[in-house]
Amino acid sequence: MTDVYDLRRLRRLLLLLPAAARAARNGRGVTLAEAAQLTGARSTRQVTEDLDALQALWVDPAEGEPLVDLFLDDGEIQAVYAQPFGRPPALSLAEGAVLLAALEPFEEESRTPARAAARKLRRAIPEPLRPEADRLATGLDVAAEPPKPWSGVLREAIEKRLETTLEYRAVADAAAEKRVVEPRLLFQRDGQWYLAAWNVAKEAEHLFRLDRIVTVEPGTRVFGEHKGPPVARYARGRLYFESGTERKVTLRFREGAARLARDRYGSKARENADGTVSVTLDVTPGNYLLGVVLGYGGECTVEAPEDVAAQLRARVEALHRLYA
Protein backbone atom coordinates (compact mmCIF):
# COMPACT_ATOMS: atom_id res chain seq x y z
CA MET A 1 0.00 0.00 0.00
CA THR A 2 1.47 3.38 -0.98
CA ASP A 3 1.63 6.41 1.28
CA VAL A 4 -1.11 8.08 -0.76
CA TYR A 5 -3.58 5.35 0.15
CA ASP A 6 -2.45 4.78 3.76
CA LEU A 7 -5.60 4.14 5.80
CA ARG A 8 -4.33 6.09 8.78
CA ARG A 9 -3.87 9.03 6.45
CA LEU A 10 -7.44 8.58 5.20
CA ARG A 11 -8.73 8.75 8.77
CA ARG A 12 -6.79 11.94 9.48
CA LEU A 13 -8.17 13.58 6.36
CA LEU A 14 -11.71 12.51 7.24
CA LEU A 15 -11.31 14.19 10.63
CA LEU A 16 -9.89 17.33 9.01
CA LEU A 17 -12.70 17.75 6.47
CA PRO A 18 -15.54 18.80 8.79
CA ALA A 19 -13.21 21.06 10.80
CA ALA A 20 -12.02 22.86 7.67
CA ALA A 21 -15.58 23.13 6.36
CA ARG A 22 -16.74 24.64 9.66
CA ALA A 23 -13.84 27.10 9.69
CA ALA A 24 -14.60 28.11 6.09
CA ARG A 25 -18.13 29.13 7.11
CA ASN A 26 -16.49 31.53 9.57
CA GLY A 27 -14.19 32.94 6.90
CA ARG A 28 -10.99 31.30 8.11
CA GLY A 29 -8.97 28.13 7.78
CA VAL A 30 -7.47 25.57 10.15
CA THR A 31 -3.89 26.18 11.22
CA LEU A 32 -1.35 23.41 10.88
CA ALA A 33 -0.98 23.22 14.65
CA GLU A 34 -4.75 22.90 15.09
CA ALA A 35 -4.89 20.23 12.39
CA ALA A 36 -2.11 18.18 14.03
CA GLN A 37 -3.88 18.27 17.39
CA LEU A 38 -7.27 17.45 15.89
CA THR A 39 -6.16 14.51 13.73
CA GLY A 40 -3.50 13.04 16.02
CA ALA A 41 -0.74 13.63 13.45
CA ARG A 42 2.81 13.28 14.73
CA SER A 43 3.71 16.80 13.58
CA THR A 44 2.64 19.68 11.36
CA ARG A 45 4.94 18.22 8.73
CA GLN A 46 2.83 15.06 8.64
CA VAL A 47 -0.28 17.20 8.12
CA THR A 48 1.43 18.87 5.15
CA GLU A 49 2.38 15.45 3.75
CA ASP A 50 -1.27 14.34 4.09
CA LEU A 51 -2.40 17.33 2.03
CA ASP A 52 0.29 16.73 -0.59
CA ALA A 53 -0.79 13.09 -0.89
CA LEU A 54 -4.39 14.17 -1.39
CA GLN A 55 -3.37 16.47 -4.23
CA ALA A 56 -1.43 13.60 -5.81
CA LEU A 57 -4.59 11.56 -6.36
CA TRP A 58 -5.56 11.50 -10.03
CA VAL A 59 -9.08 12.64 -10.90
CA ASP A 60 -10.63 12.08 -14.32
CA PRO A 61 -11.22 15.54 -15.82
CA ALA A 62 -14.40 14.22 -17.43
CA GLU A 63 -15.90 13.80 -13.96
CA GLY A 64 -15.92 17.57 -13.37
CA GLU A 65 -14.56 19.37 -10.31
CA PRO A 66 -13.79 17.40 -7.14
CA LEU A 67 -16.56 17.34 -4.56
CA VAL A 68 -14.11 18.40 -1.84
CA ASP A 69 -10.65 19.96 -2.05
CA LEU A 70 -8.26 20.61 0.85
CA PHE A 71 -5.21 22.81 0.37
CA LEU A 72 -2.74 24.92 2.34
CA ASP A 73 -2.90 28.68 1.86
CA ASP A 74 -0.86 31.18 3.89
CA GLY A 75 -0.33 28.73 6.74
CA GLU A 76 -3.98 27.66 7.01
CA ILE A 77 -5.83 24.66 5.61
CA GLN A 78 -8.75 25.70 3.45
CA ALA A 79 -11.67 23.59 2.28
CA VAL A 80 -13.43 24.17 -1.01
CA TYR A 81 -16.36 21.94 -1.80
CA ALA A 82 -18.82 21.79 -4.68
CA GLN A 83 -21.77 21.18 -2.37
CA PRO A 84 -22.34 22.14 1.29
CA PHE A 85 -20.58 19.62 3.52
CA GLY A 86 -23.69 19.22 5.65
CA ARG A 87 -25.59 17.89 2.61
CA PRO A 88 -23.18 15.50 0.83
CA PRO A 89 -24.28 13.73 -2.36
CA ALA A 90 -25.80 10.27 -2.07
CA LEU A 91 -23.17 7.55 -1.67
CA SER A 92 -23.28 4.03 -3.00
CA LEU A 93 -23.40 1.12 -0.59
CA ALA A 94 -19.70 0.33 -1.08
CA GLU A 95 -18.58 3.98 -0.81
CA GLY A 96 -20.52 4.56 2.40
CA ALA A 97 -19.33 1.32 3.97
CA VAL A 98 -15.65 2.07 3.28
CA LEU A 99 -15.87 5.57 4.77
CA LEU A 100 -17.82 4.40 7.82
CA ALA A 101 -15.31 1.62 8.42
CA ALA A 102 -12.44 4.12 8.26
CA LEU A 103 -14.09 6.34 10.87
CA GLU A 104 -15.19 3.55 13.23
CA PRO A 105 -12.02 3.44 15.41
CA PHE A 106 -12.29 7.18 16.02
CA GLU A 107 -15.97 6.89 16.95
CA GLU A 108 -15.01 4.36 19.63
CA GLU A 109 -12.56 6.87 21.08
CA SER A 110 -15.46 9.35 21.40
CA ARG A 111 -13.88 12.03 19.23
CA THR A 112 -16.62 14.51 18.44
CA PRO A 113 -15.49 15.37 14.87
CA ALA A 114 -15.44 11.68 13.95
CA ARG A 115 -18.94 11.08 15.32
CA ALA A 116 -20.26 14.15 13.48
CA ALA A 117 -18.64 13.06 10.22
CA ALA A 118 -20.04 9.53 10.60
CA ARG A 119 -23.55 10.90 11.15
CA LYS A 120 -23.31 12.98 7.98
CA LEU A 121 -21.94 10.03 6.01
CA ARG A 122 -24.84 7.84 7.14
CA ARG A 123 -27.29 10.50 5.98
CA ALA A 124 -25.53 10.51 2.60
CA ILE A 125 -26.25 6.80 2.12
CA PRO A 126 -29.75 6.19 0.70
CA GLU A 127 -31.93 5.32 3.68
CA PRO A 128 -32.90 1.78 2.55
CA LEU A 129 -29.20 0.89 2.28
CA ARG A 130 -28.00 2.30 5.62
CA PRO A 131 -28.43 -0.90 7.71
CA GLU A 132 -26.64 -2.88 5.01
CA ALA A 133 -23.80 -0.33 4.86
CA ASP A 134 -23.30 -0.60 8.63
CA ARG A 135 -23.28 -4.39 8.37
CA LEU A 136 -20.80 -4.35 5.49
CA ALA A 137 -18.55 -1.79 7.19
CA THR A 138 -17.95 -4.10 10.17
CA GLY A 139 -16.21 -6.64 7.91
CA LEU A 140 -13.93 -4.33 5.92
CA ASP A 141 -10.15 -4.53 6.27
CA VAL A 142 -9.40 -1.02 7.47
CA ALA A 143 -7.71 -1.55 10.83
CA ALA A 144 -4.19 -0.13 10.55
CA GLU A 145 -2.70 -2.09 13.45
CA PRO A 146 -3.33 -5.57 14.89
CA PRO A 147 -5.09 -5.60 18.28
CA LYS A 148 -3.26 -5.83 21.57
CA PRO A 149 -2.06 -7.46 23.78
CA TRP A 150 -0.26 -10.04 21.64
CA SER A 151 0.70 -8.06 18.53
CA GLY A 152 3.91 -6.60 19.98
CA VAL A 153 5.36 -9.82 21.34
CA LEU A 154 4.39 -11.74 18.19
CA ARG A 155 6.02 -9.16 15.94
CA GLU A 156 9.22 -9.47 17.97
CA ALA A 157 9.09 -13.27 17.75
CA ILE A 158 8.58 -13.05 13.97
CA GLU A 159 11.48 -10.62 13.58
CA LYS A 160 13.86 -12.69 15.75
CA ARG A 161 12.61 -16.07 14.42
CA LEU A 162 11.86 -17.34 17.92
CA GLU A 163 9.90 -20.54 18.41
CA THR A 164 6.82 -19.54 20.41
CA THR A 165 4.24 -21.34 22.53
CA LEU A 166 0.63 -20.22 22.10
CA GLU A 167 -2.23 -21.06 24.42
CA TYR A 168 -5.06 -21.09 21.91
CA ARG A 169 -8.80 -21.77 21.65
CA ALA A 170 -9.59 -23.38 18.30
CA VAL A 171 -13.19 -22.15 18.61
CA ALA A 172 -14.64 -19.49 20.88
CA ASP A 173 -16.03 -21.87 23.55
CA ALA A 174 -13.30 -24.53 23.41
CA ALA A 175 -10.71 -25.17 26.11
CA ALA A 176 -7.36 -23.51 25.44
CA GLU A 177 -4.53 -25.80 24.33
CA LYS A 178 -0.83 -25.13 23.92
CA ARG A 179 0.66 -25.06 20.42
CA VAL A 180 4.36 -24.70 19.66
CA VAL A 181 4.78 -22.67 16.50
CA GLU A 182 7.26 -20.84 14.32
CA PRO A 183 5.50 -17.48 13.79
CA ARG A 184 5.62 -16.11 10.28
CA LEU A 185 3.16 -13.32 9.49
CA LEU A 186 0.45 -11.11 11.01
CA PHE A 187 -2.29 -10.05 8.61
CA GLN A 188 -5.94 -9.06 8.51
CA ARG A 189 -8.81 -10.50 6.52
CA ASP A 190 -12.60 -10.05 6.75
CA GLY A 191 -12.41 -7.97 9.90
CA GLN A 192 -10.17 -10.43 11.80
CA TRP A 193 -6.44 -10.45 12.52
CA TYR A 194 -4.53 -13.71 12.00
CA LEU A 195 -1.12 -15.16 12.76
CA ALA A 196 0.26 -17.47 10.07
CA ALA A 197 2.65 -19.89 11.77
CA TRP A 198 4.26 -23.30 11.30
CA ASN A 199 2.78 -25.80 13.76
CA VAL A 200 5.83 -27.77 14.89
CA ALA A 201 3.92 -30.85 16.10
CA LYS A 202 1.69 -31.17 13.04
CA GLU A 203 4.36 -30.07 10.53
CA ALA A 204 1.95 -27.78 8.71
CA GLU A 205 1.22 -24.09 8.47
CA HIS A 206 -1.86 -22.99 10.41
CA LEU A 207 -3.76 -19.73 10.86
CA PHE A 208 -4.47 -18.53 14.41
CA ARG A 209 -7.01 -15.79 15.15
CA LEU A 210 -5.49 -13.23 17.50
CA ASP A 211 -8.72 -12.85 19.49
CA ARG A 212 -8.57 -16.56 20.41
CA ILE A 213 -5.01 -16.48 21.75
CA VAL A 214 -4.93 -16.73 25.55
CA THR A 215 -1.17 -16.45 26.19
CA VAL A 216 2.03 -16.04 24.16
CA GLU A 217 5.39 -17.34 25.45
CA PRO A 218 8.41 -16.74 23.18
CA GLY A 219 11.05 -19.40 23.58
CA THR A 220 14.81 -19.38 23.07
CA ARG A 221 15.16 -21.64 20.02
CA VAL A 222 15.87 -19.69 16.86
CA PHE A 223 14.46 -21.40 13.77
CA GLY A 224 15.80 -21.19 10.24
CA GLU A 225 14.01 -20.54 6.98
CA HIS A 226 10.24 -20.32 7.16
CA LYS A 227 8.38 -23.47 6.23
CA GLY A 228 5.02 -23.58 4.50
CA PRO A 229 3.46 -22.25 1.28
CA PRO A 230 4.35 -18.82 -0.14
CA VAL A 231 2.92 -15.95 1.90
CA ALA A 232 1.64 -14.36 -1.33
CA ARG A 233 -1.51 -16.43 -1.02
CA TYR A 234 -2.52 -14.40 2.04
CA ALA A 235 -2.73 -11.32 -0.17
CA ARG A 236 -5.85 -12.73 -1.80
CA GLY A 237 -9.21 -11.28 -0.95
CA ARG A 238 -10.33 -14.42 0.84
CA LEU A 239 -8.93 -17.10 3.11
CA TYR A 240 -10.03 -20.01 0.99
CA PHE A 241 -7.36 -22.03 -0.77
CA GLU A 242 -7.93 -24.65 -3.46
CA SER A 243 -7.58 -28.22 -2.24
CA GLY A 244 -8.49 -30.17 -5.38
CA THR A 245 -11.87 -31.23 -3.95
CA GLU A 246 -13.81 -28.19 -5.17
CA ARG A 247 -17.21 -28.54 -6.85
CA LYS A 248 -19.55 -26.09 -8.49
CA VAL A 249 -22.14 -25.06 -5.92
CA THR A 250 -24.93 -22.58 -6.65
CA LEU A 251 -26.13 -20.37 -3.80
CA ARG A 252 -29.35 -18.36 -3.90
CA PHE A 253 -29.54 -15.05 -2.02
CA ARG A 254 -32.63 -13.02 -1.16
CA GLU A 255 -33.51 -9.63 0.37
CA GLY A 256 -30.49 -7.97 2.02
CA ALA A 257 -28.19 -10.85 1.13
CA ALA A 258 -29.13 -10.42 -2.54
CA ARG A 259 -27.91 -6.82 -2.48
CA LEU A 260 -24.63 -7.94 -0.92
CA ALA A 261 -24.25 -10.71 -3.52
CA ARG A 262 -24.72 -8.25 -6.40
CA ASP A 263 -22.08 -5.95 -4.90
CA ARG A 264 -19.59 -8.72 -4.09
CA TYR A 265 -19.88 -11.05 -7.07
CA GLY A 266 -20.70 -8.59 -9.87
CA SER A 267 -21.08 -10.38 -13.19
CA LYS A 268 -21.20 -13.78 -11.44
CA ALA A 269 -24.53 -12.84 -9.85
CA ARG A 270 -27.53 -14.08 -11.89
CA GLU A 271 -30.85 -12.32 -11.40
CA ASN A 272 -33.94 -14.50 -10.91
CA ALA A 273 -37.54 -13.60 -11.73
CA ASP A 274 -38.53 -13.58 -8.03
CA GLY A 275 -35.91 -10.96 -7.11
CA THR A 276 -33.40 -13.42 -5.70
CA VAL A 277 -29.82 -13.70 -6.95
CA SER A 278 -27.98 -16.95 -7.79
CA VAL A 279 -24.19 -17.30 -7.73
CA THR A 280 -22.21 -20.38 -8.77
CA LEU A 281 -18.89 -20.86 -6.94
CA ASP A 282 -16.07 -23.41 -6.97
CA VAL A 283 -15.96 -24.50 -3.32
CA THR A 284 -15.49 -27.65 -1.25
CA PRO A 285 -18.77 -28.75 0.37
CA GLY A 286 -18.49 -29.09 4.11
CA ASN A 287 -18.39 -27.08 7.32
CA TYR A 288 -16.82 -24.00 5.73
CA LEU A 289 -19.53 -23.70 3.09
CA LEU A 290 -22.37 -24.48 5.50
CA GLY A 291 -21.06 -21.86 7.91
CA VAL A 292 -21.01 -19.23 5.18
CA VAL A 293 -24.58 -20.02 4.14
CA LEU A 294 -25.91 -20.08 7.70
CA GLY A 295 -24.11 -16.80 8.40
CA TYR A 296 -26.64 -14.99 6.22
CA GLY A 297 -29.36 -15.66 8.77
CA GLY A 298 -31.78 -17.47 6.50
CA GLU A 299 -31.29 -15.17 3.50
CA CYS A 300 -29.10 -17.67 1.64
CA THR A 301 -29.63 -21.31 0.66
CA VAL A 302 -28.01 -23.96 -1.54
CA GLU A 303 -29.74 -24.15 -4.90
CA ALA A 304 -27.61 -26.94 -6.39
CA PRO A 305 -26.36 -29.65 -6.39
CA GLU A 306 -29.01 -31.59 -4.50
CA ASP A 307 -26.62 -33.54 -2.25
CA VAL A 308 -25.09 -30.28 -0.93
CA ALA A 309 -28.57 -28.83 -0.41
CA ALA A 310 -29.37 -31.99 1.59
CA GLN A 311 -26.28 -31.37 3.76
CA LEU A 312 -27.59 -27.88 4.54
CA ARG A 313 -31.07 -29.19 5.40
CA ALA A 314 -29.56 -31.80 7.71
CA ARG A 315 -27.43 -29.16 9.45
CA VAL A 316 -30.45 -26.85 9.94
CA GLU A 317 -32.50 -29.74 11.37
CA ALA A 318 -29.66 -30.65 13.76
CA LEU A 319 -29.40 -27.04 14.95
CA HIS A 320 -33.16 -26.89 15.41
CA ARG A 321 -33.12 -30.01 17.60
CA LEU A 322 -30.24 -28.57 19.62
CA TYR A 323 -31.70 -25.11 20.25
CA ALA A 324 -35.46 -25.60 19.98
| pLDDT, mean of residues 251-258 | 92
Asked whether residue 34 falls in the same domain as residue 157, the answer is no
Asked whether residue 272 falls in the same domain as residue 314, the answer is yes
| CATH number of the domain bearing residue 162 | 2.30.30.100
Asked whether residue 161 falls in the same domain as residue 104, the answer is no
Least confident of 65-74, 147-156, 291-300: 65-74
pLDDT in tens, 188-229: 776 678 898 999 998 888 888 888 899 999 999 999 988 877
Look at residue 244 in the predicted model and tell me its pLDDT: 60
Look at residue 318 in the predicted model and tell me its pLDDT: 87
CA-CA-CA-CA dihedral for 234, 237, 239, 242, to nearest 10: -90
Residue 195 lies in a domain: yes
Mean of the per-residue pLDDT values for the chain?
78
**Of 137, 167, 200, which residue constitutes the final position of a domain?**
137
Asked whether residue 65 falls in the same domain as residue 93, the answer is yes
Residue 116 has pLDDT above 90, yes or no: no
Asked whether residue 72 falls in the same domain as residue 27, the answer is yes
Number of structural domains found in the chain: 3
Is the N-terminal amide bond of 113 cis, ω within 30° of 0? no
Asked whether residue 28 falls in the same domain as residue 100, the answer is yes
Look at residue 274 in the predicted model and tell me its pLDDT: 94
Asked whether residue 128 falls in the same domain as residue 158, the answer is no
Look at residue 105 in the predicted model and tell me its pLDDT: 60
Domain residue limits at 261 = 247-323
Q: What residues contact 322, with CB distance under 8 A and at least 6 apart?
A: none
**Of 80, 105, 137, which residue constitutes the final position of a domain?**
137
pLDDT in tens, 161-193: 999 999 998 765 668 899 999 999 888 776 678
pLDDT in tens, 74-89: 788 887 654 444 455 5
Look at residue 27 in the predicted model and tell me its pLDDT: 79
**Of 84, 108, 137, which residue constitutes the final position of a domain?**
137
Asked whether residue 122 falls in the same domain as residue 45, the answer is yes
Given pLDDT bands bounded at 50, 70 and 90, which one contains residue 322? confident
Neighbours of 10 (CB within 10 A): 20
Asked whether residue 94 falls in the same domain as residue 176, the answer is no
What percent of the chain shows pLDDT beyond 90? 24
Strand partners, 197: 183, 206
Residue 291 lies in a domain: yes
pLDDT in tens, 227-242: 877 776 665 555 655 5
Distances (CA, A) of 245 to 41, 277, 289: 49, 25, 13
pTM, rounded to two decimals:
0.39
Residue 142 lies in a domain: no
